[in-house]
Structure 1
Amino acid sequence: MMGRTMPIVLNHGVSRLRRSLRRLGADRKGVAALEFALVVPLLMAMYFVTIEVSQGIETNKKLARAASTVADLVTQQQAMTASQLGDIMDVGKAILKPYGRSDIRFVATAIEITDEDAPKAQIAWSWANAGATAPCQAAAVGSTPDLPPRLKVRGTFLIHVKGCLDYKPILTWAASREAGLGVMDVILTNGVLKMDEGYYLRPRMSPTIPCANC
């Protein structure tokens, strides 16, 4: 009697297990929550990357505008002093507002081109505001600048202004305040993206623009 009962009990248990597995396979409860949990991190990453890229592009445009403005103001002068250059560069800094995660640096360089058949370019003066580092460091007077050939017009004078900025993305900047937010440190060098923009302009009010204490 016992020998006949055991197969029946086992078969009944296997049948119940099969029915349970079929019900589990057909159950769709929680699928939406699982999909949401998988997709949200990707969507959030795409959102933040989009914000960072758009802000980076906008900041670079402002940097170019700031360098252009400083060059424009310098070339409107007949003569310059280091103090006047500092004031003009402060105007350029204001253009980057409200961006304020790092400071913009400028270098203004006067380039003299000799009046001869094979014109040579040399630095007449160069001045950078405090804390400027390469590529916005002041050049040595009398040194030869890396000037595009089309700008080597004999007997002319040029003003070159370059602006430099260590762009700090929001997530990297927030890392110093909130642990775990420095995601961009993995992508960028030391958490910054180095930007620089430069412009060449010619004097407007006089043939040259001397700077007494630059």
Structure 2
Amino acid sequence: MPDHLTPRRSRLAGFWRDRRGVSAVEFALIAPVMVIFYCGMAEAIQAMMAQRRVSNIAASIGDLVAQNAQLSDTKAADIFAIGNAIMAPFPTTSLRMCLVSVSSDATGKDTVDWSVTYNSHANCPAKGAVLAASVVPAGVLPASQSVIMAKTSYAYVSPIKFVMPRTLNFYRTYYLRPRRSETVMKVTG
């Protein structure tokens, strides 16, 4: 073995035995996984917060209507403004809200008395529509009574789009009985 190769072998052997950079190498391997995990958790928590706010909006706007004997256009606009405020700090451009009064006749046929929408809610039934039996769950609307149906939908888009690149759509529907009268009447103005 030539003498000029011996120092190289000893340096190479020393390199493999040296443990000074092990922590830096381990960190370099684990750091990308931890960053992905952190971003994914942040996105999931933001989506869960948006979903909860959609539920809160549907419950709140329905409850506000059910507490009144009448609903005017001005009051409906104020209620929808409250829904927008609940959604903050999330953008409200994709927030859709719908308030519907549904009455049942003596035979149990469910009919829409009135409906009011915010941001053109696509699944909001029109006034006079006869609803299928599956729209209002059994036991929620007895014969010859009415119920307020509050529907909310929201298209959540993650601001990071790292782990959740697609839009998540949240839908909530709440049914509340009128408290001050048999039905909530819709008045103009």
Q: Report the TM range for the smaller structure's normalisation.
A: 0.7 to 0.9
Equivalent residue for 1:33?
A: 24
Match of 2:114 in 1: 125
Deviations 1:36-68 (A, max 9, x none): 111111112212222222222222222211211
Question: Over alpha carbons, which structure has the higher Rg?
Answer: 1
**Structure with the higher strand share, 1 or 2:** 2
| Aligned residue runs from structure 1 range 42-191, under 5 A | 42-100=33-91, 102-116=93-107, 119-129=108-118, 131-134=119-122, 137-140=123-126, 141-145=128-132, 146-172=135-161, 183-184=162-163, 187-189=164-166
Q: Which has the higher helix share?
A: 1
TM-score (norm 2): 0.85
Higher RCO, 1 or 2 (CA under 8 Å, sep at least 6)?
A: 2
Contact 2:71/2:184 (CA < 8 Å) preserved in 1? yes
Q: Matches of 1:122 and 1:193 in 2, distance apart?
A: 31
Residue type of the alignment partner of 1:193 = L
Partner of 1:150: helix, strand, or coil? Answer: coil
CA gap 1:75/1:52 in 2 versus in 1, 3 angstroms: same
Contact 1:101/1:167, CA 8 A, preserved across alignment: no
Aligned-pair Cα RMSD in Å: 2.2
Q: Secondary structure at the match of 1:126?
A: strand
CA contact (8 A) 2:103 2:146 kept: yes
**Residues 1:197 and 2:186 aligned together:** no
Letter in 1 for 2:97: F
**1:73–1:88 Cα contact (<8 Å) kept:** yes
**Contact preservation (8 Å) 2:109, 2:130:** no
Between Structure 1 and Structure 2, how many residues are aligned?
Answer: 185
Structure 1 counterpart of 2:136, which letter? Answer: L
Query: The residue matched to 2:175 in structure 1 has which SS?
Result: strand
The answer to whether the 8 Å contact 1:102/1:167 transfers is: no
Structure 1 gap ranges (5+) = 1-9, 173-182
TM-score, reference length from structure 1: 0.76
